[in-house]
Amino acid sequence: MNNKSNRLVNYLAAWILVTIIGIILFLLPSVYNVQPANTSITLFVIGVLMAGLGFGMTINYSVRILKQKFNLPQSTPIAEWVLIDEEWKQFCFNKLKNQIKSNLRIFYLVIVACVILDVIFIFILNELIVVFDFLLSEMVLISIPVFISPLFNYLMDIKSNREVKIYDYAVKLNGELYNWGIRQGKLIDIELISENPPFINIEYSIPYRRMSPMFTNMKNYFVRVPVPSYELSMATEIVNEFQKKINNTISV
């Protein structure tokens, strides 16, 4: 198989690094007495935000790795393959384009809101440099989910193991498990998409947060499972079988 690490482990390592960089940034102004004061404040704010985000995500991915170990399917995969390097890179690039395209819609709205607020602050504070520093901080923060996060995901995906395992009630992609076989989990839709490379688009729902002892909030998830060109016939059979299960569930 492939000796590359899985996606969740790569994420965990990267967020630990982000946390360390954030700590260095917010300690830098006090340790080295950074001047001018505006630069010092900007470094402190960015550092605190990076360290806080990094620490939170480190805990998140640590928990996800532990939970995944306990939820791994015990059955044998009904399909298992490893994509060739060219197909995997193309799949990751397509995913990057789709993520950025989706994020840009929110980005434009947030930018307009930030500019309006900064114009108001200029009249209130009457200090253009201070407002400019705040605008710089805002731009960095907005760029994280819009551009940096998808690029970060792309780099993590590229370094991952390219392995795909499909089970009766789950998919394991890049070492990350997508499992709808848990209690109240449900497979909603599955479709084979003709792209380069082709992929299986899966939609499923699982309990997200228990609102009360009687009611559970369900959340929908989507996962794209890349298919090697030489496995198209098998992928078609798998999709047809899952579609039958969905139809049988609906008819019951």
pLDDT tens digits along 139-195: 666 666 677 778 888 888 888 888 899 999 999 998 888 989 888 889 999 999 998
Residue scoring higher pLDDT (64 or 192)? 192
Report field, pTM of the whole predicted structure over 0.75: no
Q: What is the pLDDT of residue 222?
A: 92
Question: Among candidates 16, 21, 109, 105, which has minimal Cα distance to 65?
Answer: 16
Q: What is the pLDDT of residues 115-146, one digit of tens each?
A: 777 677 666 666 555 556 666 666 666 666 67
Mean pLDDT of the chain: 81
Report how far Cα 9 is from the mean position of its chain's Cα atoms: 13
Q: In the chain, what are the domain boundaries?
A: 7-158, 180-251
Question: Which residues lie across from 128 on neighbouring strands?
Answer: none
Confidence band for 234, pLDDT divided at 50, 70 and 90: very high
Record the tokens describing residue 90, joined without a space.
């193309």
Position 228 pLDDT exceeds 80: yes
Instruction: Average the pLDDT over 229-235 and give the result.
Output: 92
Using CA atoms, how far apart are residues 11 and 17, in angstroms rounded to an integer? Answer: 10
Position 8 scores a pLDDT of 78
Q: What is the pLDDT of residue 239?
A: 95
Q: Which residue has the higher pLDDT, 90 or 152?
A: 90
Q: What is the pLDDT of residue 55?
A: 92
CB 198 within 8 A of CB 235: yes
pLDDT of residue 36: 63
